[in-house]
């Protein structure tokens, strides 16, 4: 997904591989968090493997994982309680 802002107006275009979506009020699409290819290894075990996501202002999100350690590790990194370096 790519966000393209119209500099002359108050519109945004969300581009995907298949289509474009025009949004009239792009201020609602403000990125407040972006994670790209986050990998975390703890004690030789890969806990997070190339995690990528973007959170836009107003989004309601949910994290699902096979084990609680992955979610806990992600939240600890996001809240700066844990270093994201390996």
Tens digits of pLDDT across the chain (86 residues)? 555 555 445 666 666 667 766 666 655 567 888 898 999 998 999 999 999 888 877 778 888 888 888 989 998 998 887 665 65
Residue carrying the six token digits 């119209």:
6
Selection from 36, 16, 73, 86 nearest residue 4 by Cα: 16
pTM of this structure: 0.62
| Distance set, CA 35 to CA 12, 18, 24, 50 (Å) | 21, 23, 26, 9
């Amino acid at each position: 997904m790519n966000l393209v802002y119209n500099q002359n107006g108050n519109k945004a275009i969300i581009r995907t591989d298949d289509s474009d979506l025009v949004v009239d009020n792009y201020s609602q699409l403000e990125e407040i968090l972006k994670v790209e290819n986050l990998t975390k290894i703890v004690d030789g075990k890969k806990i997070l493997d190339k995690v990528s996501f973007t959170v836009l202002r107003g989004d309601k999100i949910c994290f699902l994982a096979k084990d609680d350690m992955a979610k806990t590790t992600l939240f600890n990194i996001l809240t700066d309680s844990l270093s994201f370096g390996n």
